[in-house]
Structure 1
Amino acid sequence: MSVVHTRADDRLGEFALRTLDPDADAALLHTWVTHPKAAFWLMQDANPAQVAEEYRRIADHPHHDAYLGLWRGRPAFLAERYDPAHVELVGLYDNQPGDVGMHFLCAPVGTPVRGFTRAVIRTVMAWLFDDPTTRRVVVEPDVRNTAVHALNAAVGFEVLGTITKPEKDALLSVCTRAQFQAAVTDSEGAQA
């Protein structure tokens, strides 16, 4: 399992992404994706074997990848990258060259750390934009997931509109490299 990206957060320290091992990580992921706070992940009733099966399917897919996020060296979040021309959004929006789809999930914790989720999404976005072929990041969160909508806006996402997927009504949003950089720069200036 290799680390594919690291990012130092001025306040919270080191974040990293490593390749996911569907079998070795399944028990941990099961506790995350079935937690009540992960209701929008749509795996509430999955057992550990089903979680392992889902992440083996993702690992074997040519257009979908999953990564375990680490905070200070410990598992703390999950990130998925996908090609929306082949996964999730096929035929549902005007796909552009260089579009990359993204999902992320923070591990449930007893005591939340202020700014943690924002640091996670910034880490995931920085990783996706490290690839020079990525022109836009595309997301499709549930229309009811207002907390994620606010986070998406904070890192530069622009709402394109609502789309209907088989499992949910989603708020299709995109973020260009320039929008992300402007949002990050603005928020750093505001914090100074």
Structure 2
Amino acid sequence: MVLAQSDYPITVWDTNTKKEITFRYVTFEQDFDRLHSWMHQDHVIPFWNLDKPRAEYASHLKRFLANKHQQLLIGEIDGQAMSYWESYIVSQDLIRHYYDYEKGDQGIHLLIGEPTYLGKGFIYPLMLTLMKRMFEVPETKRIMAEPDIRNEKMIYVFEKCGFQQLKTVDLPDKTAMLLYCQQEVFESRWNAWIQGEF
């Protein structure tokens, strides 16, 4: 399975928050300084461990941008970049060794970079919008996530969006809660959001 590289940017209007949501591709030139700054935010450091010097993070970002099995995205609210997202093909990722994956499984990582956007509920329309796009890949019937087990707020957000706990896994860089969301469960949560019953 190959992720389409022409899916972004996308812009949608969220009727609940009355905000315009955009996802666009990360570019090194446009986003390096922003991402390097976000990785040094106090709320990001414990769970991403990428608070590196500029040269070291530059190498990391270039390597990730060259990986054709994942997509790096900036999430925007009303045109303001405020979040970072990674969608990836599970069959090409380390996580495949930790559960019985299916060919079409995709995974997701994310962070809210700008502190002023924390705790305001914007993560829900962003998450749901991106998941909807990921499920448009015909082979994808399930999306996986593996947040740090200490990140209780993030686990709550995932579960609110339809993810269920599978098991705890010891990854090289963290102990994670492996979560999964089936497409039909997502559709139920999406409809609840659209109808204002989330």
- TM-score (norm. length: structure 2): 0.87
Superposition misfits of 4+ residues, deviation over 3 angstroms: 110-113, 186-192
Contact kept, 8 Å, 1:84 with 1:101, in 2: the verdict is: yes
Following the alignment from structure 1 to structure 2, what is the Cα–Cα distance between the partners of residues 141 and 112? 17
Following the alignment from structure 1 to structure 2, what is the Cα–Cα distance between the partners of residues 16 and 131? 19
User: Which residue of 156, 181, 184 corresponds with 2:162?
Assistant: 156
Contact kept, 8 Å, 1:66 with 1:78, in 2: the verdict is: yes
Match of 2:50 in 1: 43
* 1:65 aligns to 2:71 (yes or no): yes
Following the alignment from structure 2 to structure 1, what is the Cα–Cα distance between the partners of residues 167 and 160? 17
Contact kept, 8 Å, 2:112 with 2:118, in 1: the verdict is: no
Contact kept, 8 Å, 2:98 with 2:169, in 1: the verdict is: yes
Q: CA deviation at 1:49?
A: 2.6
Following the alignment from structure 1 to structure 2, what is the Cα–Cα distance between the partners of residues 76 and 108? 5
> Any gaps of 5 or more consecutive residues in structure 2?
1-5
* 1:132 aligns to 2:145 (yes or no): no
User: Which residue of 71, 76, 85 corresponds with 2:82?
Assistant: 76
Contact kept, 8 Å, 2:36 with 2:54, in 1: the verdict is: yes
Secondary structure of 1:85's match? helix
2:91 counterpart letter in structure 1? A
1:121 counterpart letter in structure 2? M
Following the alignment from structure 1 to structure 2, what is the Cα–Cα distance between the partners of residues 187 and 9? 10
Match of 1:186 in 2: 192
2:13 counterpart letter in structure 1? A
Secondary structure of 1:25's match? helix
Identical residues among aligned pairs (%): 26
Following the alignment from structure 2 to structure 1, what is the Cα–Cα distance between the partners of residues 106 and 117? 32
1:42 counterpart letter in structure 2? N
- TM-score (norm. length: structure 1): 0.90
Q: CA deviation at 1:111?
A: 6.1
Q: CA deviation at 1:133?
A: 2.5
Contact kept, 8 Å, 1:22 with 1:53, in 2: the verdict is: no
Following the alignment from structure 2 to structure 1, what is the Cα–Cα distance between the partners of residues 10 and 94? 24
Q: CA deviation at 1:189?
A: 4.6
User: Which residue of 56, 70, 74 corresponds with 2:62?
Assistant: 56
Following the alignment from structure 2 to structure 1, what is the Cα–Cα distance between the partners of residues 13 and 140? 21
Q: CA deviation at 1:86?
A: 1.4
Q: Deviations over 1:77-132 (max 9, x none)?
A: 11101112211313111111210011011122236462112222122212212323
Cα 1:123–1:190 change in 2 (3 A) is: closer
> Any gaps of 5 or more consecutive residues in structure 1?
none
